[in-house]
Amino acid sequence: MFASSLLREASRRKVGLVSLCNRLSINQPGSSDGNTHSPPGIPAALPDADIEPPAVKRRRPVKDPRDCSVLLFPGQGSQFVGMGRGLLKYPNVREMFTVAQRILGYDLLSLCLDGPKEDLMKTVHCQPAVFVTSLAAIERLNYENPKAIEMCVAAAGFSVGEFAALVFSGSINYAEALYAVKVRAEAMQTASELAPGGMLSVVGRREAHYKHACVQAKEHCKGLGMEDPVCSVANYLFPDGRVIAGHQKALDFLQQNSSVLNFTRTSPLSVSGAFHTELMESAVEPFREVLRQVEVRRPEINVYSNVDGKRYMSESHVRRQLVKQLVSPVKWEQTLHEIYQRTQGKEFPHTYEVGPGRQLGATLQRCNRKAFTYYEHVEVTIDDDDDDDN
């Protein structure tokens, strides 16, 4: 069964779900023996944080998957002004934003709450914003439904959301992961300026052939005199749902010929570059270098890679795949199939989207309607019955 097999595996490794305190260990970046080895840019001494959240208790393996949970962490594009306002009353959230301000060098909380929108939308800002807000939402889930944390057996994140999943799993320290996200976002922004491009959301009919459409778009660009045009699938979202990225002239060709290509809907995304394509190649080495300096552990629960939809197996595997992710398509549809395939269509765990937006819930609904029956979103704004705690 889905739950028992995963929990038995954790038991064999003599590890359980680590406490939320350890997952979000703000005080001591680096190794558990107290020695710090922070990469350049992370303050050697972070602000003191008196964190005593409830410890995650180990339980015996359960046979019913509905007693287990899966956490999904969103990526860039889910951000909006006002996110995080509903989380400030929960333990440790303000502390997390305080640490973020020290690492990033600007007031991330103010940017999330009040904008301006044009600044929040920038890659260098929105990636850290989504990362921190998603982990802050974990505090809300832990407060309102600690069993969802305690019985979590798997996690996955979309693009930058993968870092939040890894922090939650105990694989990477919060502060070091945030610094890696900072470097990643800056490198991707620079790559976008060196090699301008865009992204196009596409929904097609069953007859659509996305890779062949990209080949046609590149041939069109070559006919215009472009050398080495780039156009490829960047995100596999759900059946017949893709994001295609590359040079703008190639994306224009796809839009102008959408009916011939059997696309039912095309929509340009408001992003600064062609993410998850070879146009991000210049971002690889700066990001690889910072990952060399970040301590990485094997995740305590199953965490799935965007690169191939498979779970991480080791520390080196995490490092390799995170670097490869920059220039590889996000295989989100494949990841969801991998997570839920063990249920054999009978019983499903509770799934929580933890962070801004509900895009991952929408993709889950298109990929697996039965699993979506047990889906919930952890709100990051103020509920109607909440006080303004800002």
- Exactly one of 276, 305, 328, 350 is catalytic; name it: 276
Residue pair 5/143 in contact (Cβ under 8 Å)? The answer is no
159 carries an active-site annotation: yes
Paired residues of 265 in beta bridges: 203
- Exactly one of 19, 69, 134, 159 is catalytic; name it: 159
Based on C-alpha coordinates, what's the Rg of the chain?
21
Q: How many CB atoms lie within 10 A of CB 79?
A: 22
The reply to whether omega before 299 is within 30° of 0 (cis) is: no
SS3 of the chain: CHHHHHHHHHHHCCCCCCCHHHHCCCCCCCCCCCCCCCCCCCCCCCCCCCCCCCCCCCCCCCCCHHHCEEEEECCCCCCCCCCCCCCCCCCCHHHHHHHHHHHHCCCHHHHHHHCCHHHHCCHHHHHHHHHHHHHHHHHHHHHHCHHHHHCEEEEEECCCHHHHHHHHCCCECHHHHHHHHHHHHHHHHHHHHHCCCEEEEEEECCCCCHHHHHHHHHHHHHHCCCCCCCEEEEEEEECCEEEEEECHHHHHHHHHCCCCCCEEEEEECCCCCCCCCHHHHHHHHHHHHHHHHCCECCCCCEEECCCCCCECCCHHHHHHHHHHHCCCCEEHHHHHHHHHHHHCCCCCCEEEEECCCCHHHHHHHHHCHHHHCCEEEECCCCCCCCCCCC
Counting Cα atoms < 13 Å in the Cβ hemisphere of 88 gives 17
Tokens of 273: 């570059």
276 carries an active-site annotation: yes
Among 103, 172, 184, 104, which Cα is nearest to 135's?
Answer: 172
Residue with tokens 């001591």: 28
Would you name the residues annotated as active-site residues? Answer: 159, 276
